[in-house]
Structure 1
Amino acid sequence: MRKINLLLASIFIFLCNGSLWAQLPPIENSATIYLQMKKLNVLGSVLYVAAHPDDENNTLLPYLAKGALYKTAYLSLTRGDGGQNLIGDEQGFELGLIRTEELLAARRIDGSGQYFSRAYEFGFSKSADEALHTWDKDKVLADIVWVIRKYQPDIIITRFPRDKRAGHGHHWASAILANEAFKAAADPTQFPEQFQYGVKPWQAKRILWNTYNFGSVNTTANDQLKIEVGGYNALLGESYGEIGGEARSMHKSQGEGRPRRAGNITEYFTTTGGTPPDSTLMDGINITWTRIKGGAAIIPKVDALLKQYDIQHPEQSIPALVEIYHAIEQLPEQNNWTKEKLKEVKDLIVACSGLMAEVASNNEYAVQGQHMQLQFFVNKRLPAAVQLQQISLASEQTTLFDTTLRTNLSTNNNIAFDKQFPVALQQPISQPYWLAKPMENEGMFTVTDQTLIGRPESKPAYTATFTFMVDDIAFTIQKPVQYKYVDPVRGEVYDPFVVTPPVIVGLQPNVALNNVIRNGKPIRTPDMHLQLQANYNAASVPVTFQLRQGTNVIYSKDTVLQFENGKNYAWTVPLNTVFQTNQPQIIQPSVTLPVLGQKETYHYNLKRIAYNHIPTIHYFYTDSVKVITEPIKVVGTKVGYVAGAGDKLPEAIQQLGYSVQMLQEQDITDEKLRQFDAVIIGIRAYNIHEFLTTKNDILNRYIYNGGNLIIQYFKSNYINNKPVKAGPYSFLVNGSPRVTEENSPVEFVLPKHSVLNYPNTITEKDFEGWVQERSTYQAQTNDTHFEMPLQMHDSGEAPSKGSLLIAPYGKGNVAYVSLVLFRQLPAGVPGAYKLMANLIALPKHN
């Protein structure tokens, strides 16, 4: 089967020095095996809690997991959906998918686990009240309680305080909720519905706040508990600060690259609940085997294991591991710790045997109703006595394969075979579980399966179970089916194995402007582009395409196609021939065709996001065209665009009827710029392109000679510690103020300004329906050349005018726009299109 070519352009942005991804077989050397053996005698656990990916303390986590050897995990309440993206144009839950994988990449480096709640990161918030209101507070609290009861931490650590010192409202709320959950998790009257899933009330010993010194905010104090976490781990060959720097650098979408920091690093803690510690995080907590009835007998067995360990022959430790396994298994008290330690012992037996086991496909996709070819592989690379007893393959719905082998494995001898399996028509597509249903509201994902809550990712579509016998212990290795291939640059790569529908359905554009007017006349009738991709081969397939507007079918086409796997079929539908003005202004596609003798209807498109530092991401969605019927007047025909750190404005500007040319550094010349009615600078472009500063004189001449330069927001007046030059006049950007309430009132300070009147009249109605926020990284200036026609503010704050600055210069104009048009235009907000048209059309001066 050929590799599926997605209707929506795949994103291939390869970041240097990234790991190939999570599912590469783990590399266990003798040193890391010894470290894991030492961990067998440590029965302490820590749960770290904060709001977002990249909120975690990346030096503390490896110290806890690899230094103190505690079972360690991070609970991020959100997946970072509302943040900014420095590596691409993904926004919203697409960015959340990226940041989820970046967080998991960081955890693979620092050795910690990862959990999430159902909360959606809806953007910057200035208060805990807004966050708790937008989220469903009780449900997020329930999620934290669920994780605590399931994980059973001895201590809980929050990154932030329960007050405004936390800065971001989400940070503040995460601390409030964690402290409430600290008590609620132990209360059997709180969320009792969780107990049917095997958890029980759990009281952590204490909850601490990991205070910080972020430069502008210092919450540390000399009377707080101090822990040195920068130590060097000789078994790993690096310090925890070095590990933390590498882990932190996985947050590439946030520009969080950090150095590998050596030297002493002190972390500070203050107790917010439970018994305060005296000198260590675990003061007063029994973290040895004696916390379990009969467990004291395990301690000398692990000590003997460590003493007798031969780094040249880890397989010689297997008999001692088998003995420890039996001893734990026979303890009179069995609980979460015995389960955890039995798993750790099994993992060590696998590592000491040099066992490899995997199942892979050389195709990225399995298609519902078709077949998949899988390759099974087993190798025992060390001279241990291991018997391969059984291999099975199953999905959540059924077992596809189960065979008994009872084969004694020879050292370093490959056992490999291929086998074909049917893919059931009812096999669920590979969708991130939190995206499987529409969101409950703007702040919460819908997840109705309690057992999924907290999981970082969906369960794999197919899992192989390899059963081995070592001595008299039968143990299993479970491996997800993965897509495995060799890239000529990157080498061997493992990626997720994805189940798709038989066809992929697309409809573009996402927003259609149906009433754009230039010189008093409509400029064009937009077309819709309907696409179908066949994911299998078949002759003479009868296909019915339909477009729906609400519940009404507004377009239907029957045809017969010769399906070729991976081939796209496309049709153009003029919008004005089907659009009904009295129906909802959203149009969606579907395709009906026979599959395995029965008619099936499909409507999913597939998005593929690929960056080298994380696994390839796939998710399914239904395309929709939002039709804007409001008249929008435009002036001019050509716009130049300098791409910033990722936005989708060029497509939106094309919908306004402009010809858009993307500009590179070599295009910033007097001769080339003079052809454009306006030049627009993408978001944060001044913070990533030094050439914009070096070419500032050319851009200023373009303005002086009659051009309009529209600068979208940037984050600071510096790039690589050098001052930014943006336009002919000075203004300051330092991160504040910003207006995060998307429905905040907007005051027209200069109601007669051309940007509010020409060619479109802007009214308060044009600021309705905005998403996430109004304005970010507003400008501040005392330069009287600038006019500030708008004023706005969040609740309880003073008004600010820095969302839109406009100044004449020569015959043209320069504008700094921190209004978040980059979010509003793709969301189909009519007023944002009118405002962009007015910015492009700012009148020339004599």
Structure 2
Amino acid sequence: MQNRTYKLLDSKLETGHVAPAQFFDGIDTSLLGLVRFTGSRPPEVLTPLQTIADAVSAARKALAMSRPSAAVTPLAAGLHAVRALRANLPSVLSADARYEIDLRLAHKERQFQDALVIASAIRLDALGDDGIVVPGQQLNVSVYAAVNSTEESRLESVTLAGFAGAPPTACAGALVAGKNVTCKANLMIPPHTRLSTPYWTPRSDAARYDFDPDVPFGLPFRPSPFVATFHLTIRGERVDVERSVQFRYSNVIAGEKRSELQVVPPFNVRVDPDIAVFPAADLPPEAELPAEAGSHEHPTHVASAFRWKDIRVTVGNNQKGTSDATVTLSAPAGWQIEPASAPLHFGREDEETTVTFKVRPPAGAHPAEFVLKGVATAGGTQSDLGYEVVEYPHIHRRHVLEKAETRAKVMDVKITPGLHVGYIMGVGDRVPEAIEQLGAAVRLIDPDTLASGDLSQLDDIVVGVRAYERRPDLRANNQRLLQYAENGGTVIVQYQRNEFNEAQYGPYPAKTTSDRVTDEKAPIEVLVPDNPVFTTPNRIGAESWQSWVQERGTYFLGQKDPRYVDLVRSQDPFPYNAGPKTGALVEARTGKGRWIYVGLGLWRQLPAGVDGAYRLMANLLSSGKR
């Protein structure tokens, strides 16, 4: 747990603005302390408060000396006293005093009711026969009430909220040990029920969130609308208890699990990739390029911009039984989409179908960002949303809604054609997909290939973030990468942590550090402007460092052999990380090839669609064409 420091700004206590050792020092939090709001301590308030406090003390004593059911009588007496006081607060009290006292008594009333249910050993449940529901779906709900004590209690009725349909009938009866009171109802999820998703959304302009105003602030999730209220009588007192309607299922690791009802769209529509990049160079197709295209002697011949890109739309059926639909990929006017649409047939719930659309922007399109949206249509109803499931054995299932969209960026970026790039995945990132978007062919390097495969067929080998931490085969066969570079290849190593320092994994001695630049707008100084990394095939200017997200980079190369050359320098604009930082982009010549360390956060910028990051990556990769 992290320590927190709080500063006292104001206080009604006579403390001289000196913060107490504990938050509640000097504040009477007892029931009798509520009389402070009255000013005159009238007996009409003081006496009932003492009665309530005595009931709490008696319940605690009974619980300590006997079993939980022994606390039922004093708890029922305390609940009765709380309700009597709330109903008869003296009219002479000010409106503010009545509000303050009644607010706290309402909490006590709820607490007494909950304690009575626990002390009486009453189990209440409301279960649906499906946990993933769509608006308009029928749902069977069963409610259960059971008791494991001899205390006098009775279920009077059950109220179900959030549904359309008839409530359960005859849901009442005395609660007797060993015998359940069970009721069933066939209900409907209302057609316009809100879909399940967090009630907070990330802001695009800051690392903060916007909150839906209709949810009480501070709750972890929006309360479920599907609620069963059990109306009980315990020792003559009315007790109302709410239970969210849940779905019960089994998990191979956690055993029985439960979740609230998750409301989903009729079809779960997802689009891949998240971003599609269309370089804007107006050149003939790659097949028409001259044979020497992309060579260092002819650097102006680069890959064509307007190749068709594949966009995959996956549609999952959330409805019961069979379903037919049509899927389309909508795009701005002038864009070419093939096919225009595709029919879908689902034989059951949870079945999925993926359709691949080929996409091309209009000729002469200028650099800009566009939106491509996947849409499933059935019976006049459209679904253009998908969702991500968040669930682990130790937590409840939750859904996060996502728009079925991909960002299509016509981008001013060029890359040498025909590149073949090997990628050594580390902890997992989306850089291979970004490289493919540039037009290069990417091959993930597995342990067998790294150990004994023919690496000479590759123009570049890119090492993923923290790969030296996660890939023992990389540590064992690192000499293969160094030999590949000496033979003329280009090795691009993204940021690594301490595991990189356990041996000499670079061509010359070097160690990574915890140095970083955390301001994504921090100025970048290019130290070797004529290096091909900044000139070929893209000119890296000031605009290439704009619109970065979250940070410039991290885990820069620190102590290093002088044969490493720093290409950039940067500095955070605030004093807590003062001083210029190098090691963010470092090049070393080795044999006929190059070894490059990239502490700049390209792994974060590329999935975010940052133009300058794509241009920089294109230049890094283009240098590997031999």
Matched with 1:393 is 160
Matched with 2:514 is 735
- 1:341 pairs, out of 89, 95, 108, with 108
**2:148–2:177 contact (8 Å) kept in structure 1:** yes
Q: Deviations over 1:683-712 (max 9, x none)?
A: 233344455444444443343344433222
For 2:553, the aligned partner's letter is: S
The offset of 1:421, in angstroms, is: 1.9
Matched with 1:789 is 567
1:666-815 to structure 2, matched below 5 A, reads 667-671=449-453, 673-689=455-471, 692-714=474-496, 716-718=497-499, 723=502, 726-736=505-515, 738-796=516-574, 797-815=578-596
The offset of 1:742, in angstroms, is: 1.9
Matched with 2:185 is 419
Bigger mean CA deviation after superposition, 443-452 or 769-778 = 443-452
1:482-493 to structure 2, matched below 5 A, reads 482-493=246-257
1:401-480 to structure 2, matched below 5 A, reads 401=167, 403=169, 405-435=171-201, 439=203, 441-447=205-211, 449=213, 451-480=215-244
Give the TM-score normalised by the residue count of structure 2: 0.81
Matched, 1:660 2:442: yes
How far apart, CA to CA, are the structure 2 residues paired with 1:844 and 1:556?
Answer: 35
How far apart, CA to CA, are the structure 1 residues paired with 2:503 and 2:13?
Answer: 51
Q: Deviations over 1:240-273 (max 9, x none)?
A: xxxxxxxxxxxxxxxxxxxxxxxxxxxxxxx9x9
For 1:532, the aligned partner's letter is: V
Matched with 2:328 is 545
TM-aligned CA distance change 1:450 to 1:513, over 3 Å: closer
Matched, 1:323 2:77: yes
How far apart, CA to CA, are the structure 1 residues paired with 2:421 and 2:445?
Answer: 10
Aligned-partner SS, 2:172:
strand
Aligned-partner SS, 1:669:
helix
**1:383–1:411 contact (8 Å) kept in structure 2:** yes
Aligned-partner SS, 2:192:
coil
Aligned-partner SS, 1:781:
strand
The offset of 1:553, in angstroms, is: 11
How far apart, CA to CA, are the structure 1 residues paired with 2:378 and 2:448?
Answer: 53
How far apart, CA to CA, are the structure 2 residues paired with 1:204 and 1:579?
Answer: 71
How far apart, CA to CA, are the structure 2 residues paired with 1:446 and 1:354?
Answer: 42
How far apart, CA to CA, are the structure 2 residues paired with 1:469 and 1:830?
Answer: 67
Q: Deviations over 1:221-250 (max 9, x none)?
A: xxxxxxxxxxxxxxxxxxxxxxxxxxxxxx
Q: Deviations over 1:45-87 (max 9, x none)?
A: xxxxxxxxxx755xxxxxxxxxxxxxxxxxxxxxxxxxxxxxx
Matched with 2:317 is 534
- 2:144 pairs, out of 377, 380, 388, with 377
**2:334–2:361 contact (8 Å) kept in structure 1:** no
TM-aligned CA distance change 1:450 to 1:485, over 3 Å: closer
Aligned-partner SS, 2:167:
strand
**1:550–1:587 contact (8 Å) kept in structure 2:** no
How far apart, CA to CA, are the structure 2 residues paired with 1:459 and 1:589?
Answer: 30
How far apart, CA to CA, are the structure 2 residues paired with 1:495 and 1:540?
Answer: 26
TM-aligned CA distance change 1:684 to 1:337, over 3 Å: farther
1:487-502 to structure 2, matched below 5 A, reads 487-502=251-266
How far apart, CA to CA, are the structure 1 residues paired with 2:216 and 2:323?
Answer: 42
Give the TM-score normalised by the residue count of structure 1: 0.61
Matched with 1:309 is 63
* Greater relative contact order structure (CA < 8 Å, 6+ sep): 1
Matched with 2:610 is 829
How far apart, CA to CA, are the structure 1 residues paired with 2:242 and 2:411?
Answer: 54
**1:628–1:830 contact (8 Å) kept in structure 2:** no
Aligned-partner SS, 1:405:
coil
TM-aligned CA distance change 1:805 to 1:552, over 3 Å: closer
1:107-256 to structure 2, matched below 5 A, reads 159-160=4-5, 183=10
For 1:572, the aligned partner's letter is: T
- 1:648 pairs, out of 430, 454, 458, with 430
**1:430–1:461 contact (8 Å) kept in structure 2:** no
TM-aligned CA distance change 1:669 to 1:570, over 3 Å: closer
How far apart, CA to CA, are the structure 2 residues paired with 1:592 and 1:486?
Answer: 31
How far apart, CA to CA, are the structure 2 residues paired with 1:56 and 1:285?
Answer: 26
The offset of 1:404, in angstroms, is: 5.5
TM-aligned CA distance change 1:549 to 1:274, over 3 Å: farther
The offset of 1:419, in angstroms, is: 3.4
How far apart, CA to CA, are the structure 1 residues paired with 2:227 and 2:323?
Answer: 35
The offset of 1:532, in angstroms, is: 3.0
How far apart, CA to CA, are the structure 1 residues paired with 2:308 and 2:204?
Answer: 36
Matched, 1:356 2:143: no
Paired positions, count: 577
Q: Deviations over 1:341-375 (max 9, x none)?
A: 33332222222222222223353310122222334
**1:731–1:781 contact (8 Å) kept in structure 2:** yes
How far apart, CA to CA, are the structure 2 residues paired with 1:302 and 1:537?
Answer: 51
**2:485–2:591 contact (8 Å) kept in structure 1:** yes
Matched with 2:352 is 568
The offset of 1:423, in angstroms, is: 1.9
**1:391–1:403 contact (8 Å) kept in structure 2:** no
How far apart, CA to CA, are the structure 2 residues paired with 1:820 and 1:671?
Answer: 29
Q: Deviations over 1:168-203 (max 9, x none)?
A: xxxxxxx6xx86xx55xxxxxxxxxxxxxxxxxxx6
**2:367–2:412 contact (8 Å) kept in structure 1:** no
TM-aligned CA distance change 1:329 to 1:833, over 3 Å: same
- 1:603 pairs, out of 380, 384, 392, with 384
Q: Deviations over 1:271-305 (max 9, x none)?
A: 9x94433x655432223222123234444433332
Matched with 2:43 is none
How far apart, CA to CA, are the structure 1 residues paired with 2:377 and 2:457?
Answer: 49
- 1:621 pairs, out of 375, 381, 402, with 402
For 1:318, the aligned partner's letter is: V
Aligned-partner SS, 1:607:
strand
TM-aligned CA distance change 1:509 to 1:311, over 3 Å: farther
TM-aligned CA distance change 1:400 to 1:697, over 3 Å: farther
How far apart, CA to CA, are the structure 2 residues paired with 1:570 and 1:291?
Answer: 65
TM-aligned CA distance change 1:274 to 1:353, over 3 Å: farther
How far apart, CA to CA, are the structure 2 residues paired with 1:556 and 1:467?
Answer: 58
Aligned-partner SS, 1:549:
coil
Bigger mean CA deviation after superposition, 668-677 or 356-365 = 668-677
How far apart, CA to CA, are the structure 2 residues paired with 1:301 and 1:480?
Answer: 30
Q: Deviations over 1:355-402 (max 9, x none)?
A: 22222335331012222233433332333322122222212x878636
**1:732–1:781 contact (8 Å) kept in structure 2:** yes
Matched, 1:284 2:50: no
TM-aligned CA distance change 1:282 to 1:507, over 3 Å: closer
Unaligned runs of 5+ in 1: 1-54, 58-158, 161-174, 184-202, 207-270
For 2:193, the aligned partner's letter is: Q
**1:536–1:563 contact (8 Å) kept in structure 2:** no
**2:165–2:188 contact (8 Å) kept in structure 1:** no
Matched with 1:508 is 272
Name the Cα RMSD after superposition: 3.6
How far apart, CA to CA, are the structure 2 residues paired with 1:759 and 1:553?
Answer: 28
Rg (Cα) greater in structure: 2
Matched with 2:134 is 367
TM-aligned CA distance change 1:801 to 1:558, over 3 Å: closer
TM-aligned CA distance change 1:778 to 1:583, over 3 Å: closer
Q: Deviations over 1:290-348 (max 9, x none)?
A: 21232344444333323322576312221121122223333456344333333332222
